[in-house]
Amino acid sequence: MKVAKRTFDAVIVGAGGAGLRAALQLSEAGMKTAVLTKVFPTRSHTVAAQGGVAASLGNSTEDNWHWHMYDTVKGSDWLGDQDAIEFMCRKANEVVVELEHYGMPFDRTDDGKIYQRPFGGHSMNYGQAPVMRSCAAADRTGHAMLHALYQRNVRANTQFFVEWMALDLIRNSDGDVLGVTALEMETGEISIFHSRATIFATGGAGRIYYSSTNAFINTGDGVGMAARSGIPLEDMEFWQFHPTGVAGAGVLITEGVRGEGGILRNDAGERFMERYAPNLKDLASRDVVSRAMTTEINEGRGCGPDKDHVLLDITHLSPETILKRLPGIREISIQFAGVDPIKAPIPVVPTCHYQMGGIPTNYRGQVVIPKDGDVNSAVVGFYAAGECACASVHGANRLGTNSLLDLLVFGKSAGETVVEDFRTGALALKPLPEDAADVSLARIARLEGQKDGENVHEVRLDMQRTMQKHAGVFRFDNLLKEGAELIKGVAARAASTEIGDKSQVWNTARVEALELDNLIEVAKATMISAEARKESRGAHVRDDAPDTPEHPNGRNDEEWLKHTLWYSADNRLEYKPVNLKPLSPNVEPIALAKRTY
Amino acid sequence: MSKRTVQFKIYRYDPDKDEKPYMQDISVELEASDKKLLDALVRLKVKDDSLSFRRSCREGVCGSDAMNINGKNGLACLTEVDSLPQPITLRPLPGLPVVRDLIVDMTQFFKQYHSIKPYLINNDPPPERERLQTPEDREELNGLYECILCACCSTSCPSFWWNPDKFVGPAGLLAAYRFIADTRDQATNDRLDNLEDPYRLFRCHTIMNCVDVCPKSLNPTRAIGKIKDMMLRRAV
């Protein structure tokens, strides 16, 4: 097969919030940039974010970034790096105000400022009471944000390669990153994108689970590509289960519903969160709420004929509030749950939502790996931002509204770092190895010629069911052990998938098979990292690490206050320290403490 | 709803092997949990992996899976499969070149969207904090900003079918009015100039197919009417 070669100053893979924000920095700096995206930019999954983006603007209640930083560190169960968290919280106002200037249609307060609502785990004065920190455009914040970012890129003349799927990362013998190979979906042709800098902004991989709020496209492409090329993945055992996915359908119901006053109830109509989180109640952190719901269901207090969900009740809110602040939720609820939330509560269950781990980066967006005695050595030419990256600001559990903030802050930061490195001449266009496209061509050729192979749909389904059963909201030692073996078996089958469709034109069967190669890397990383972490922390809670006086909440800082690094080649695990020191010398570290809400 | 078998008639065309398009008769057994047309399409694809269509969010917000369903444009993920008379006839969106099966080439659609300068224009130096906007002024954007660029509207519009290169179409015009209506935007006159032409705006003959098909219940015809009013007021 003939492989075309294209050369750019920078290649960005992914055109969701992080990719588009990074692209703006590069386009406005005049760098020759290619943005590759397997869907038209406004179809990226950022579009589905609902409730808001965090920034301590203080428009409705007093607020400051120190409180936001405290909430984020506590939310992360102290696994987040405090330098990156300080950086993110301090930058929040700047990046949100910028978006307003780009035209994002935020809701407004009576005095014309950006409207803010309360959200889970966000508090004033270090945990005392809920704070209004989530900047919102009704319950369509992600849509409003993604479109505003795309529109700004239209203005900046950013060059997009729409419906191009990146296949593999190109590294030379020194390990430097030289670009990617990519498949043009319309023609089936493979190209090399040779570049000085490569930014991954490919989103998460929520589709490794059977029940997920994530879109079909969330297949962890960047994470899979990085893993296959030898980059370790960080903290992959930590997955967020959002408390309120529509029961059965998985579609997201924003936490903003509880921010506006929504209440979770069990079959007795009890507001059960009062028992689990007496202070913040329904607005406790997501991992806490998801576990409480699962406990209610497991103990027989679930709702419906199968007692398999709980109810999210907003019938006490005025219809005007619902129509004004939560119009999209009402549509979703009618469409996917068959209930009008003005009249009846919404059936909800915890649903896989967000990947806290990912490609290890620092707060400047550089990908960092252990090398020559330095655990955070920057990979030359490689950057990442957004859900595919692990900065790490979310640690063991992300707070709602911090994902949109993450992609803005670190999308911009990665872009700024690339522009700076470009201007100082630190980014060379290094010669491509002869075999730059060989790995990708071999993958395509294998699919083309595979006989008596595995069915893509069945392998994917087995992976999803295995993840759901063995690495869910609560985790069990025996299930994790068994799961690690099972997922290796599924991975072996994924290596011999076969497709019926052999067309070169828009071959979605081929795309799905290639996506499965990425999903399976993420699934292995998750299961193997989770099996090994013998403590409970944030979203990772095990039966054999219960709450004891010695280890509150089952957390074991002496042994496990460290980041996991998983290597694909041999399923090896390494660990690196958590950075407990903020970025600025005059900022006090947030001291370790038991996490309660 | 329990298990049931559903009959389809689907437009198929793979330029790599088919000389011309054809309609394929195919049926599929649905599980009780399959409620939307997209669920059925995903089932069909398990049966025949060569069936090609776009899809992503499956909740009506990304705009990928627009198609012509029993003669009317809509999103597969928001259409109840059991509400559709069988055989369910699926065709690609009308008026755009077909790439393969249910996938159309949307270049012309996005070209028109881009032609209206779909971004806020405000040449004042950006203030340190957000620009202020009253809740009432913000409400003017409701019904405009929610567009998902699925193209159901423009590809149901006869004026767009006849002049896709000259008529902006309902989606692009809705976006144009979204910026005109924004109190933060300073380019209203330029935006009106940009539409001052026998085709770009005035080819809308208020047929209102766009309103009929919009999966987000938006009303491009009303937005177009408001732009026309502004044109007229500006002229006198």
Q: Average pLDDT, stretch A518-529?
A: 98
pLDDT score at A2: 84
Residues 6+ apart with CB under 8 A from A427: A9, A196, A197, A381, A418, A421
Q: A39–B118: do the CB atoms touch at under 8 Å?
A: no
What confidence tens digit (pLDDT) does each residue in B217-232 have? 999 999 999 999 999 9
Q: Hey, what are A36's tokens?
A: 């590759």
Q: Which of A40, A113, A457 lies closest to B132 in CB terms? A: A113
Chain B, window 195-224: residues with a beta carbon less than 8 angstroms from a chain A beta carbon? none
The closest of B214, B11, B40 to B99, measured between CA atoms, is B11
What confidence tens digit (pLDDT) does each residue in A209-255 have? 999 999 999 999 999 999 999 999 999 999 999 999 999 999 999 99
Q: Are residues B54 and B31 in the same domain?
A: yes
Q: Hey, what are A189's tokens?
A: 């042709």
Q: Are residues B80 and B122 in the same domain?
A: no
pLDDT band at B103 (very low <50, low <70, confident <90, very high): very high
A234: helix, coil or strand?
A: strand
Q: Are residues B131 and B149 in the same domain?
A: yes
Residues 6+ apart with CB under 8 A from B104: B92, B93, B96, B97, B98, B155
Per the document, the length of chain B is 236
Chain A residue numbers with beta carbons less than 8 Å from the beta carbon of B128 are 97
Q: B103–A102: do the CB atoms touch at under 8 Å?
A: no
Q: What is the 3-state secondary structure (H, E, C) of A254-270?
A: CCHHHHCCCEEECCCCC
CB atoms inside a 10 Å sphere around CB A45 = 26
H-run or E-run covering A573: strand A572-577
> Which chain A residue has the Cα nearest residue B15?
A505
User: How many percent of chain A have pLDDT more than 70?
Assistant: 100
Q: Indicate if the alpha-carbon torsion angle A92, A93, A96, A102 is positive or negative.
A: negative
Q: Hey, what are B36's tokens?
A: 């939307």
CATH of the domain at B120: 1.10.1060.10
pLDDT score at A294: 96
Q: Are residues B87 and B112 in the same domain?
A: no
With 80 as the cut, is the pLDDT of residue B49 above it?
A: yes
Question: How many A/B residue pairs have CB atoms within 8 Å?
Answer: 152
Q: Average pLDDT, stretch A64-69?
A: 98
> Which chain A residue has the Cα nearest residue B63?
A43
Min Cα–Cα distance to chain A from B47, Å: 10
Q: Are residues B158 and B215 in the same domain?
A: yes
What confidence tens digit (pLDDT) does each residue in A344-356 have? 999 999 999 999 9
Chain B residue numbers with beta carbons less than 8 Å from the beta carbon of A457 are 45-46, 49
With 80 as the cut, is the pLDDT of residue B200 above it?
A: yes
Q: A42–B134: do the CB atoms touch at under 8 Å?
A: no
DSSP H helices, A431-502, are 438-449, 456-470, 477-494
With 80 as the cut, is the pLDDT of residue A396 above it?
A: yes
Q: B106–A154: do the CB atoms touch at under 8 Å?
A: no
pLDDT score at A1: 72
Whether the CB-CB separation of A413 and A87 falls below 8 Å is answered with yes
Does the annotation mark A271 as catalytic?
A: no
Q: B146–A143: do the CB atoms touch at under 8 Å?
A: yes
What confidence tens digit (pLDDT) does each residue in A551-560 have? 999 999 999 9
Chain A residue numbers with beta carbons less than 8 Å from the beta carbon of B131 are 100-101
Q: Are residues B83 and B112 in the same domain?
A: no
Chain B residue numbers with beta carbons less than 8 Å from the beta carbon of A252 are 59
- Residue-range definition of the domain harbouring residue B202: 107-235
Q: Are residues B120 and B228 in the same domain?
A: yes
Q: B135–A216: do the CB atoms touch at under 8 Å?
A: no
Q: Which of B57, B99, B182 lies closest to A47 in CB terms? A: B57
Point out the domain boundary residue: B52, B73, B104. B104
Q: Are residues B111 and B49 in the same domain?
A: no
pLDDT score at B2: 86
d(CA A421, CA A423): 6
With 70 as the cut, is the pLDDT of residue B1 above it?
A: no
The predicted complex's ipTM stands at 0.98
d(CA B88, CA B100): 19
What confidence tens digit (pLDDT) does each residue in A453-502 have? 999 999 999 999 999 999 999 999 999 999 999 999 999 999 999 999 99
Min Cα–Cα distance to chain A from B181, Å: 12
Point out the domain boundary residue: B104, B119, B150. B104
Catalytic: which of A286, A364, A475, A533?
A286
d(CA B15, CA A561): 56
d(CA A459, CA A466): 11
Q: Are residues B117 and B207 in the same domain?
A: yes
A405: helix, coil or strand?
A: helix
With 80 as the cut, is the pLDDT of residue A65 above it?
A: yes
Please enumerate, as own/partner, the contacts of B50-53 that have beta carbons within 8 Å and a separation of 24 or more.
B50/A500, B50/A501, B50/A503, B50/A509, B50/B14, B51/B10, B51/B12, B51/B101, B51/B102, B52/A506, B52/A507, B52/A508, B52/B14, B52/B100, B52/B101, B52/B102, B52/B103, B53/A508, B53/B101, B53/B102, B53/B103
Q: Which of B14, B103, B135 lies closest to A110 in CB terms? A: B135
Find how far residue B28's CA is from the centre of its chain.
28
d(CA B78, CA A178): 42
DSSP A503-565: -SSS-HHHHHHHHHHHHHHHHHHHHHHHHH--S-BTTB-BTTS---SSSGGG--HHHH-EEEE
Q: Are residues B82 and B122 in the same domain?
A: no
Q: A39–B54: do the CB atoms touch at under 8 Å?
A: yes
Q: Hey, what are A109's tokens?
A: 């307060």
* B125 CB within 8 Å of a chain A CB: no
What is the count of structural domains for chain B? 2
> Which chain A residue has the Cα nearest residue B80?
A335
* B21 CB within 8 Å of a chain A CB: no
DSSP H helices, A313-432, are 319-325, 327-332, 402-423
* B134 CB within 8 Å of a chain A CB: yes
Point out the domain boundary residue: B82, B104, B126. B104
Chain A residue numbers with beta carbons less than 8 Å from the beta carbon of B117 are 154-155
Q: B122–A101: do the CB atoms touch at under 8 Å?
A: yes
Chain A residue numbers with beta carbons less than 8 Å from the beta carbon of B62 are 39, 42-45, 47-48, 215
CATH of the domain at B73: 3.10.20.30
pLDDT score at B235: 86
Q: Are residues B99 and B52 in the same domain?
A: yes
Q: Average pLDDT, stretch B172-195?
A: 98
Beta-bridge partners for A8 = A195
Q: Are residues B112 and B185 in the same domain?
A: yes
Tell which of B119, B123, B134 to mutate to test the A interface (max A CBs under 10 Å).
B119
